[in-house]
Chain A
Amino acid sequence: MTKIVGVTACIAGIAHTYMAKANLEKFARKEGIKIHVESQGSMGIENKLSQEEIDEADLVIFAVDTSVTDRDRFSKKEVLEVGTNQVIKDGKKVINDASEMIEDIKNN
């Protein structure tokens, strides 16, 4: 099963962070992809990813409008970075792009 981990973060840390998280989960589920999304919002880091989950993931998605806290955790990973609005506008496309990236990684 394909595994993706994600981080969402926006400027105010209240609305877009959580909408982007919800949409990543919604569209990954539709594609049968296992996903775990950490939110970095005004309530701090929630649903924190374990290093093991990060290491095992086929791809990392950053849906962020600001910097990712503890970005070092992802230094060895391929990352698809988008803005939160892209995920909110068309979550299906972001998940499809992620799937294509994963295919490319596997074929190389």
Chain B
Amino acid sequence: MVHNSKISDFISTDNIIVGMNAVSREDAIKQLSNILQKNGVVNDAVAFNQDVLAREKQSTTGIGNNIAIPHGKSASVTIPSFIFAKNNSLLEWDSLDGSQVDIIFLMAIQEKDERNEHLEMLANISSRLMDDQFVENIKKENDPQRLLKIFTKN
């Protein structure tokens, strides 16, 4: 593993939402943007929400396997981070494999690129989404504490 910053230093169960009740992709992104503001990751949820939707318009972030990774590179981001959510129902997301989505990683990235451990964490999680075992583990698990353990295990 190339990126091995300690993810446990940056995330807590505040970054994990299980049992979200979003009714659409737009609703999910809006709800999660608000949580990111509450968590102090973004200082303007509305602006962040718009930047994420603009990215969605470029090409889908539904990477298949019921997973989507919407992300916003936005001036409203104060610290690079993410929010992980499991939705109670499947949502339409124009996914690469046509699957609907109930697992959402919303990533918040600053406009100015600066190499740091938070970006390494996001890159690390992104690579692990290609690992079948990792995906199976996060699909099976619904306890935020145990999900946190899965994310922080390197």
Interface residues of A (CB under 8 A from B): 11-19, 21-23, 26, 39, 41-44, 46-47, 65, 85, 88-89, 91
Contact = CB atoms under 8 A, between A and B. Distances in A.
A65 B124 CA distance: 20
A88 B64 contact: yes
Contacts of B113: 13, 42-44
A17 B71 CA distance: 13
B123 A17 contact: yes
- Best-surrounded residue of B58, B97, B109, B126 (most CB of chain A within 10 A): B126
Contacts of A11: 55, 58
Contacts of A91: 130
Interface string B45-75: 0000000000100111101100001010100
- Sort A-B residue pairs by CB-CB distance and give the 4 closest, nearest first: A22-B130, A22-B127, A89-B96, A18-B126
Nearest to B132: A26
B104 interface: no
B75 to A, nearest CB: 14
A17 B33 CA distance: 23
Interface string B1-36: 011000000000000000000000000000000000
Interface stretch (B83-91, B114-122, B145-153): B114-122
16 contacts: A15-B61, A15-B126, A21-B127, A22-B126, A22-B127, A26-B131, A41-B123, A42-B113, A42-B119, A43-B113, A43-B119, A44-B115, A88-B63, A88-B64, A89-B63, A89-B64
B129 interface: yes
A14 B97 contact: no
Given A22-B131, A43-B113, A15 B71 contact: yes
Nearest to B73: A12
A18 to B, nearest CB: 4
Nearest to A11: B58
Given A21-B127, A22-B131, A23-B130, A15 B2 contact: no
